[in-house]
Amino acid sequence: QVQLAESGGGLVQAGGSLRLSCAASGLASSSYPMGWFRQAPGKEREFVATITWSDSTYYADSVKGRFTISRDNAKNTVYLQMNSLESLDTAVYYCAASRFPFDSRYRIEADDYDYWGQGTQVTVSS
């Protein structure tokens, strides 16, 4: 049974930083595409970042240069380092995993993912 558990959310002032973690169990996250999405109140879930099994990364334009996705294979954990946070970054952030291993394509649609975490709230105050 695959489980993804996000942590690290919280309240931060604009310009600050947070690091989100996604601990995976039931699959070796190093072999699967992993992604981060977010959903703000009243809005649809949107793509934030993805990392392939070969550690290639791809970002939404809105976070490029500010956010960094990475993984620690020994801990089976994927991270999202968020710097220079803005009020528009306020959302619930979700970690996701695809069930197709060794896929080098950038998966940027929610439908590309099969497993989801419960989400962690990030609130940026201006």
Chain segment 83-100, per-residue pLDDT in tens: 999 999 999 999 999 999
What six digits make up the tokens of 85? 């946070």
Closest CA to 95 of 44, 41, 51: 51
Mean pLDDT throughout 96-122? 95
Amino acid at 78: V
> What's the Cα-to-Cα distance from 33 to each of 58, 85, 111, rounded to whole Å?
11, 25, 13
Beta-strand ranges (E) seen in 1-126 are 3-7, 10-13, 18-25, 34-39, 46-51, 57-59, 67-72, 77-82, 91-97, 115-116, 120-125
What pLDDT score was predicted for residue 97?
Answer: 96
Chain segment 23-71, per-residue pLDDT in tens: 999 988 888 999 999 999 999 999 999 999 999 999 999 999 999 999 9
What pLDDT score was predicted for residue 30?
Answer: 85
What pLDDT score was predicted for residue 64?
Answer: 98
Asked if 50 contacts 107 with a C-beta cutoff of 8 angstroms, the reply is yes
What six digits make up the tokens of 49? 């970042």
Q: Residue 61 contacts by C-beta under 8 Å, 6 or more apart in sequence?
A: none
What pLDDT score was predicted for residue 106?
Answer: 94
Residue 79 pLDDT more than 90? yes
What pLDDT score was predicted for residue 103?
Answer: 87
Residue 114 pLDDT more than 90? yes
What pLDDT score was predicted for residue 32?
Answer: 92
